[in-house]
């Protein structure tokens, strides 16, 4: 029988620095206190979700108040917090500086004396990933930290259906190297399995999820902000994600990462503590339709029949500014600029939706075919 991991939940309706600090303190106390994890002199990597340069109120990135709160607790415990993240696109100091500034991270770090990482070197790390050895080239400051705190955002995801604690650790892979993973592993289930292995390789010791303002719909960057008024914490990113799935009403077998976790015997059992999880559960969370209607169980998802009906990225040419970010970051290299706007070769598109994730103007949306819409409606 699996031992249930504690997932602490606390209501939080604001991003006021001091209020968030008090609630984060309550969450860590519910798990044993920050001193359970941090000792004097430890270098502690804080890994937020800074997918792309985006203002905090867009709901695409971990809010700076949450980052600042956990950083302050680390400092109180005698640790040395440092922000370590790799946004989408090239991994260099200029990109990091832009992301830190746009996401409000540089301001909160200056305010509370938290270090920003600009070391773009990598390190090979080998780990036992649920019974099999895997090696990954990951961000060196993340690999060499004494302790890692995972700071995901609760969001939907056009490819994986949901992105939370486990998926956030994909940021351990440097910039454009992420594109290679998409290209080399286009199968969604296999890609989700890789996400589990990367998370296990980094093994964050504490995860704090920002769900004060979450994202639903066309996530992970162009969806709608959804007020969930919640912060969650756990020692297990897998258990925390399972709790988040329950809150938004996403069955584990309809979420690629959770389905892979269950298939591989990863423990996702959890025991909620703090506020009642029932108080946060919703039934109308807008979740991208990916697995659903039993196709995965029938081994039809990747068949030639269903491939004809897969979702695809569509460009709103009125919104598009012709920056070319989608083209430069397309793993399959199926986007070319025509008359200053992106054009897709769908025959080679692997449906990773990196173009949609990284579009700074939210000009790319994921179009669901009519059959899929009808099937989705039939399940309501």
pLDDT in tens, 200-258: 999 999 999 999 999 999 899 999 999 999 999 999 999 999 999 999 999 999 999 99
User: With 60 as the cut, is the pLDDT of residue 358 above it?
Assistant: yes
CA atoms within 13 A on the CB side of 145: 31
Domains in the chain, number: 2
What was the pLDDT predicted at 298? 40
- Decide which of 279, 298, 326 is a domain's last residue: 279
Q: Which residue has the higher pLDDT, 185 or 170?
A: 170
User: With 90 as the cut, is the pLDDT of residue 62 above it?
Assistant: yes
> Do 221 and 317 fall within a single domain?
no
Q: How far is Cα 95 from Cα 102, in angstroms, rounded to an integer?
A: 11
Q: Would residue 352 count as lying in a domain?
A: yes
> Do 315 and 264 fall within a single domain?
no
**Percent of the chain scoring above 90 in pLDDT:** 74
Average pLDDT in the 295-309 region? Answer: 45
| Rg value, the chain, Cα | 20
What was the pLDDT predicted at 290? 53
CATH number for the domain including 330? 3.30.70.20
Q: How far is Cα 135 from Cα 150, in angstroms, rounded to an integer?
A: 20
Instruction: Provide the sign of the torsion angle of the four alpha carbons 311, 313, 315, 316, taken in this order.
Output: positive
> Do 131 and 69 fall within a single domain?
yes
> Do 50 and 167 fall within a single domain?
yes
CATH number for the domain including 208? 3.40.50.11440
> Do 262 and 324 fall within a single domain?
no
For 101-127, write each residue's pLDDT tens digit: 999 999 999 999 999 999 999 999 999
> Do 31 and 155 fall within a single domain?
yes
User: With 50 as the cut, is the pLDDT of residue 304 above it?
Assistant: no
Query: Per mean pLDDT, which range of 65-79, 120-134, 318-332 is the poorest?
Result: 318-332
Residue 357, Cα to own-chain centre: how many angstroms? 11
The dihedral formed by the CA atoms of 219, 225, 229 and 232, expressed in degrees to the nearest 10: 20
Residue 130 is part of which domain span? 5-279
> Do 254 and 318 fall within a single domain?
no
Contact residues for 81 (Cβ-Cβ < 8 A; gap 6+): 44, 45, 46, 70, 71, 74, 75, 114, 115
Q: Would residue 284 count as lying in a domain?
A: no
Average pLDDT in the 63-78 region? Answer: 98
Average pLDDT in the 252-277 region? Answer: 95
Q: Would residue 262 count as lying in a domain?
A: yes
Residue 135, Cα to own-chain centre: how many angstroms? 21
Average pLDDT in the 32-45 region? Answer: 98
What was the pLDDT predicted at 40? 98
- Decide which of 256, 279, 302 is a domain's last residue: 279
Q: Residue-wise over 192-217: b if at least 16 C-beta within 10 A, else e?
A: bbbbbbbbbbbebbbbbbbbbbbbbb
> Do 112 and 230 fall within a single domain?
yes
Q: Would residue 292 count as lying in a domain?
A: no
Q: Which residue has the higher pLDDT, 339 or 225?
A: 225
> Do 83 and 209 fall within a single domain?
yes
Residue 54, Cα to own-chain centre: how many angstroms? 15
pTM check: above 0.85: yes
Beta-strand pair 270-274/153-157: unpaired
Structure-block tokens of residue 379: 């399940």
For 341-352, write each residue's pLDDT tens digit: 999 998 888 888
If one counts every other C-beta atom within 10 angstroms of the C-beta of residue 130, the result is 16
> Do 191 and 328 fall within a single domain?
no
């Amino acid at each position: 029988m699996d031992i249930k991991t504690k997932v602490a939940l606390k209501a939080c309706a604001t991003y006021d620095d001091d209020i968030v600090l008090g609630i984060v303190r309550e969450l860590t106390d519910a798990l044993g206190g920050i001193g359970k994890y941090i000792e004097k002199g430890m270098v502690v990597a804080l890994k937020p979700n800074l997918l792309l340069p985006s203002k905090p109120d867009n709901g695409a990135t971990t809010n700076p108040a949450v980052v600042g709160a956990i950083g302050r607790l680390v400092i109180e415990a005698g640790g040395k917090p440092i922000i370590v993240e790799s946004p989408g696109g090239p991994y260099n100091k200029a990109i990091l500086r832009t992301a830190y500034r746009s996401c409000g991270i540089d301001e909160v770090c200056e305010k509370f004396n938290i270090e920003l990482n600009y070391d773009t070197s990598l390190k090979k790390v080998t780990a036992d990933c649920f019974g099999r050895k895997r090696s990954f080239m990951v961000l060196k400051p993340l690999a060499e930290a004494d302790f890692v705190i995972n700071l995901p955002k609760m969001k939907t995801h056009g490819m994986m259906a949901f992105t939370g604690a486990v998926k956030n650790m994909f940021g351990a892979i440097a910039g454009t190297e992420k594109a290679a993973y998409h290209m080399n592993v286009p199968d969604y289930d296999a890609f989700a399995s890789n996400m589990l292995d990367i998370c296990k390789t980094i093994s964050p010791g504490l995860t704090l999820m920002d769900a004060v303002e979450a994202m639903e719909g066309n996530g992970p960057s162009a969806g709608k902000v959804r007020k969930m008024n919640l912060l969650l914490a756990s020692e297990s990113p897998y258990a925390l994600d399972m709790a988040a799935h329950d809150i938004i009403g996403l069955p584990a077998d309809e979420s690629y990462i959770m389905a892979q976790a269950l298939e591989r015997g990863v423990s996702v059992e959890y025991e909620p503590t703090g506020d009642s999880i029932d108080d946060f559960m919703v039934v109308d969370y807008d979740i991208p339709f990916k697995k659903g209607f039993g196709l995965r169980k029938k081994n039809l998802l990747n068949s030639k029949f269903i491939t004809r009906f897969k979702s695809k990225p569509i460009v709103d040419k009125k919104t598009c500014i012709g920056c070319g970010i989608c083209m430069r970051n397309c793993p399959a290299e199926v986007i070319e600029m025509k008359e200053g706007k992106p054009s897709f070769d769908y025959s080679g598109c692997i449906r990773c939706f990196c173009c949609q994730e990284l579009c700074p103007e939210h000009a790319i949306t994921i179009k669901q075919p009519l059959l899929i819409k009808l099937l989705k409606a039939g399940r309501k």
